[in-house]
Chain A
């Protein structure tokens, strides 16, 4: 059953190379989503359905939505609208959907013909086990990760706040 792993690994590499080589940001993002999907499928095949779900919810879901929002906010005006129409031509979405189709058929195959774990010797890890590990031996790690997010948040707030010198009113003058 290792074929499933190799095929999705190939899709992951291919789509990531295409992310880097695309000139248009929206096209790159489409391939990035496919790349996340293929990673999720690898996790699923290795017997970690919980991580696979997280990969889709957090990366392909939340983070990609943020990306798209930023791009939408940056692309303003008539010219970019024209570009956007060109960028959504049918031939542009053939590539990503082809790759996503490969992953989808793999997923169907996994669910229908095999159990949850496809790679031989893989043991399925349930969400409960993940939770016990995170809040048992790795509790300090979870706390440290929260400090890491705090550092990112404070840094992003400072660098992203308005250019005015003085405090308090920095968020107000952006509208």
Chain B
């Protein structure tokens, strides 16, 4: 490792620097606004620095980290999403009667872990990044210590994530035992030589570990409970950054170790994809709890995404990247509205508390409606174009069965998205009393974040080619 290797790592170093700076400031002077502002500035700085780093790509920094167009694109996405979560969190934390500052340190560390995951080209750095992400998530999920539901969610995530990490580690160990390498490129080389050994059970265990993080169907049990119990901005973080980073890594690994040559792996992923689509959408149908509905919907969305993952060719990478950006914008917006609506008496959990929302709070109601329409994949939203690309990638690779499944399960999904929207548009109940949102600062930050997300949603829906061009440019430099 040389000094010149440090420059391509600038975004990661910046985030680590802000973590340390924040810790020092908290030690001497606790101020919520200062910490939040510093966190936001750090995330924006890291996001901007990815542009500067682009001139170095592709660059292998030791054999742990690779800085190429692919990792730079996902790093920028992770930092931007982290910034949005920071904006959404400020008001939410003002309501919390507890220390607020540690939250930002943990959030930064979670973002750091995710950026390491997307840039890793080695199992050691992948696992370290994953652990940084998980350990900060344990504490973030249980951050509100006065909420028994939050503590329960934190413990549930801790136990299940530790179990899935054991599967992941055992899988990595088996792959190492077979090939003698932890490096993705080297593993791909020895896997490509055609011999069949421990790498098959190893990959199977790897899929279990990754499937847990992505909450794909046989491994999804924890998702609704944890999403319900976690603080809402963190639920958004879990649904977007944590899943997106692991998916980006999975795409990188399985593109290198070409899965299309292995029929049994393709079959496994097909079964998981179909089960996630139908499982997520069917389980969401009868839920009355909005955060749980969104949790199940995120399970289904990763089922759709697996279709593009299974499709081969350059269209697959474009489709997944576009879909992930659209999904990040949408799910962060949806959870952002729930976070903005929560007041002193807790969060608006049940569907009934959204009755007449469009008439009492037209702005928030409108944003939530737009986000839900995008999740359902209605034209003029980002979700529609994303789904269109996924279907196009699927058809291009003749995955007819999966494409048919997407269509069918999307129709099922439409029901529960539209049910929430119809409740929002229904008459204000007779006994409704205007309570008003609690008067704390930070509503402007949340409002700004939601406005930007909505604009992005519509922009990506109407004019997708701008983002597609960026994705093409970034992925072409992918080593």
Contacts and interface: CB of A to CB of B under 8 A. Distances in A.
Q: Do A and B bind each other?
A: yes
Point out which of B19, B125, B132, B138 has the most chain A C-beta atoms below 10 A from its C-beta: B132
A168 interface: yes
Contacts, number: 86
Contacts of B1: 136-137, 139-140
A151 interface: yes
A44 to B, nearest CB: 19
Contact of A154 (B9, B64, B112, B139): B139
B145 A144 contact: no
Given A141-B128, A148-B132, A159-B139, A154 B97 contact: no
Nearest to A136: B1
A147 B109 contact: yes
Q: Per DSSP, are chain B's interface residues mostly helix, strand or loop, or mixed?
A: helix
B49 interface: no
B116 A151 contact: no
Contacts of A139: 1, 62
Interface residues of A, number: 27
Contacts of B105: 154
Point out which of A138, A151, A155 has the most chain B C-beta atoms below 10 A from its C-beta: A151
A87 B194 CA distance: 56
B139 A141 contact: no
B61 interface: yes
The bracket for how many chain B residues form the interface is 35 or more
Given A137-B1, A147-B132, A151-B109, A165 B64 contact: no
Interface in A101-153: 136-141, 143-145, 147-148, 150-152
A17 B61 CA distance: 42
A78 interface: no
Interface of B: 1, 9, 16, 19, 23, 30, 61-65, 97-99, 102, 105-106, 109-110, 112-113, 116, 124-125, 128-129, 131-132, 135-136, 138-140, 142-143, 145-146, 154
The 10 closest A-B pairs by CB, nearest first: A155-B139, A144-B128, A165-B97, A151-B109, A151-B135, A151-B136, A158-B102, A148-B132, A140-B64, A139-B1
Interface of A: 136-141, 143-145, 147-148, 150-152, 154-159, 161, 163, 165-168, 170
